[in-house]
Structure 1
Amino acid sequence: MLTIPDELIEAIKLPKGLLESELKKEFAFFLYKKGMTTMGVARRLAGISKWEFIDSLGERKIERHYSKKELKEDQNYAKGH
């Protein structure tokens, strides 16, 4: 459990109803970007679908972590289309 002091919560420019969900999303993207967690774990922490997470990675200019298998599948798909 993470505890954030009240004075910091008040300084964050987000409506109180969105604060927890937005902080979870930001933390999830941070962990994923740093390679500290997988996409599946990060998207569950963020509370969003796989496709929303992938779209958000692009919006945030965060590179997707590909396994060699995923990269090969995408390359084969691109060659076929």
Structure 2
Amino acid sequence: MQITLEIPDEMLQGKGLNEREWLQEIAIALFQQELITLARASRIAKMHQVDFQKLIGSRGICIHYDVEDFEEDIRHLEERGWL
């Protein structure tokens, strides 16, 4: 599924957020509500995952990284031959 979000130019001008900041805020909100994973939030925000972690950490937001996330990361690394 692909979602297209149109933001009026007037919301992007002045003291409003630019496109990158909008994407970051959307990703943070979805992640904080545990609707998407850290990896997916990072992709939505168009940021490296470590940079996204730093961003949410600077806001005091918990990373929500549990055993299931760890196991999924291990599977992905194994699939890519990195382990």
- The TM-score normalised by the length of structure 2 is 0.66
Unmatched tracts of structure 2, length 5 or more: 71-83
After superposition, the CA RMSD in angstroms is: 2.0
Unmatched tracts of structure 1, length 5 or more: 71-81
- Of 7, 28, 37, which aligns to 1:4? 7
Alignment of 1:30 with 2:32, yes or no, is no
Cα shift at 1:4: 2.6
Q: Distance in 2 between matches of 1:65 and 1:3?
A: 30
Please name the residue that 1:48 is paired with: 47
Q: Distance in 2 between matches of 1:60 and 1:23?
A: 16
Structure of higher RCO (CA pairs closer than 8 Å, 6+ residues apart): 1
Q: Distance in 1 between matches of 2:15 and 2:9?
A: 13
Q: Normalized per residue, which structure has more helix? A: 1
Write the letter of the residue equivalent to 1:44: R
- Among all aligned residue pairs of Structure 1 and Structure 2, give the percentage whose two residues are the same amino acid: 33
Write the letter of the residue equivalent to 1:43: S
Q: Which consecutive segments of 4 or more residues in structure 1 shift more than 4 A?
A: none
